[in-house]
Amino acid sequence: MITADEGVRTGKVTLDTQLASRTGTESPPMTEQHTVKMQSRNLDFYYGANHALKSVDFDIVTNAVTALIGPSGCGKTTFLRSLNRMNDQIPGVRITGSILLDGTNIYDTGIDVTALRRRVGMVFQKSNPFPKTIYENVAFGLRIAGVRDRHVLDDAVEQSLRQAALWDEVSGDLEKSALQLSGGQQQRLCIARALAVKPEVLLMDEPASALDPISTAKIEELIEDLKTRYTIVIVTHNMQQAARIAQFTGFFYMGELIEYGPTAKIFTTPSEKKTEDYVTGRFG
Amino acid sequence: MTTDTAVLPARSAPAPAGRSLYGRRTSRLWRLLSPLPLATGFLTLCVVAMLVIILWNIVAGGIGGLTWEFLTQAPSQGMTEGGIFPAIFGTVFLVVLMTIAVIPLGVATAIYMRHYARPDSRMARLVRVAVNNLAGVPSIVFGLFGLGFFVQFLGKGIDTAFFAGDLAFGQPAIIWASLTLAVLTLPVVIVATEEAMRAIPRDYLEASYALGATRWQTIRSVVLPNSMTGILTGGILAVSRGAGEVAPIMFTGAAYFLPYLPTKLNDQFMELGYHVYVLSTQSPNVEETLPLLYSTVLVLLLLTFALNLLAVLIRIRIRSRQVR
């Protein structure tokens, strides 16, 4: 949780951004304590005839947790998956506008999508470890990147599992099948697997929605730890979760970004009526 | 109320005539169904009995002639004596060559269909239609195709291009027979592989892509390892089918009798199935060859079983190594 004071300070950022987009000028630089890692500009997304995202402008702050909330089908997951071009796989998709990662448009022609995905990792709603050993799961990303050195792999596996707070539970038997782990452990393994390739941004699509409260608490703790080193974007249906772990929150509705700002502001003094209705549980 | 009577079975409440269509149909269906367990049981027994009778007949007739000499010697005395070693050797050689040809081609086609082609594209539909129709073509037609395409066209072409028109590949040979069998068994491998690939959860693919894997890396390290058992199942089915076919190899490479074993790809060969055909129809003295015939059929059966067993064992090995 961040204090209301912080909220007001950081709120200025969003306000400035919104003002800028209204007047059509380039957004002013962020205040010194917040640099922008990724930003979308005029992002329109179509699944065939379905206009799934409508002119979304979004700034993702470096080394912070940004939550995307909104009712089902509002476009938050679509937006998340646009950030590392996972939607490229789906036929009939059309995207206009831009998403910048450190100032480079990731939808430019000539962008190496595999390199992008190594920089912008992803954790899915349903834990999806490969039917391989724990070790091979974590080492997968490095292996396909061409790492052969056993020492490098060993170190990376240990470090990633430690970062994902799973090392103490599995260090005794890394050759065990990943599918023998519990649901919560599997999800942390997936996080370790994503961390092993040393991404800069970590996208999480409802990573705790299929887990019990204890496992969920562990994942949230983990996110809290990770945010010092990674920029995290998380889609969640659980508004308490967003309030607990995110510094910034964006509210999507019907493909539009209705409101974006510091979490405290979104949950206590939202400027849009729709946001207020949603966060107070009047619809959604 | 009307919906209630319609849903209830006729037994509990006989509906008035003219309205109880549903109920009457149920009861008629029921009468038809009641002897069904009996009938199915009887028919199952019939199938088992047929299998037992066939196997018993072959084993009883062939086991006596199944000696070490029979397995290791060549036929002699106009095929009334000696063994069938060249036919065993030729069959194994043929099936191995066929497998080497059909597995990569079948798996590559399945990968293309599943991971590269758009499902509704013209190319994908064309391949789909071709695969389905290939499976329904009589095997003698494959034999004629093999003769026309592989022997006459490819073989003659190779001869003109590389052997200055001398006869080298433009004649029936084990390579052409195995390729003909590969075409015959191709649909089996494609369908089995595609089925296995369809069973791989989309989550695995997404996880791989999200870690920066290319499509080919994903296929190599996620798709193929996870469909290996399916591919091997396809291989088993292809081998069982291929080892027993006679018609496709008659014109494309199988020989009546050869004094030597095939060692080169353009050699002719003897084959068990074809040998059975030869013994039973071409022998000058059918009475005398009959024991040999029985033993040959028994060996053909055992060989097919053995090849199957081998593939099953490989499958089990892969499965146990693959963690679950």
Query: CA-to-CA distance for B238 and B250, rounded, in angstroms?
Result: 19
The SS3 of residue B258 is coil
Q: What does the buried/exposed string (b/e) look like for B299-311 if buried means 16 or more CB atoms within 10 Å of the residue's CB?
A: bbbebbeebeeeb
Q: Is the pTM of this model over 0.80?
A: no
Q: Is the pLDDT of residue A3 over 80?
A: no
The fraction of chain A above a pLDDT of 90, given in percent, is 66
Measured CA to CA, the distance from residue A108 to residue A239 in angstroms comes to 35
* B213 in contact with chain A, both atoms CB, cutoff 8 A: yes
Q: pLDDT tens digits, residue range A206-237?
A: 998 888 898 899 899 999 989 899 999 999 98
Confidence of residue A8 (pLDDT cuts 50, 70, 90): very low
Residues of A in contact with B213 (CB under 8 A): 114, 141, 144
Q: What is the pLDDT along chain B (324 residues), one digit of tens a residue?
A: 344 444 444 444 444 444 544 555 556 666 666 677 778 888 999 999 999 999 999 999 888 888 888 888 888 776 777 888 999 899 989 999 999 999 999 999 999 999 888 878 898 899 999 998 988 899 999 999 999 999 999 988 888 888 887 788 888 999 999 999 999 999 999 999 998 899 898 999 999 999 999 999 999 999 999 998 889 888 888 888 888 889 999 999 888 888 888 888 888 899 999 998 888 887 777 777 888 889 999 998 888 888 778 777 877 877 776 544
Q: Count chain A–chain B contacts defined by CB atoms under 8 A.
A: 72
d(CA A73, CA A56): 15
Find the Cα–Cα–Cα–Cα dihedral A200, A205, A208, A210, rounded to 10°: -150
What pLDDT, in 10s, does the model give residues A184-209? 999 999 999 999 999 999 999 999 88
Distance between A122 CA and the closest CA of chain B, angstroms: 6
Phi, psi of B238 (to 5 degrees): -65, -45
Q: CB-based contacts of B199: which residues, under 8 Å, 6+ apart?
A: B227, B230
Interchain contact, B211 vs A84, CB within 8 Å? no
For strands A93-101 and A248-253, give the pairing.
unpaired
Name the minimum distance, in Å, from the CA of A41 to any CA of chain B: 23
A121·B222 Cβ contact <8 A: no
Q: How many CB atoms lie within 10 A of CB B29?
A: 10
pLDDT at A24 over 50: no
Whether residue B120 lies within 8 A of chain A, CB to CB, comes out as: no
pLDDT of A284 > 60? The answer is: no
pLDDT at B290: 86
**What is the predicted ipTM?**
0.83
CB contact under 8 A, B209 and A89: yes
Chain A residues within 8 A (CB-CB) of chain B?
A: 84, 86, 89, 91, 114-118, 121-122, 124, 126, 128-133, 140-141, 143-145, 176-180, 190, 193-194, 197
For all residues of chain A together, what is the average pLDDT? 86
**H/E run at residue A53:** strand A50-61
pLDDT recorded at residue B266 = 85
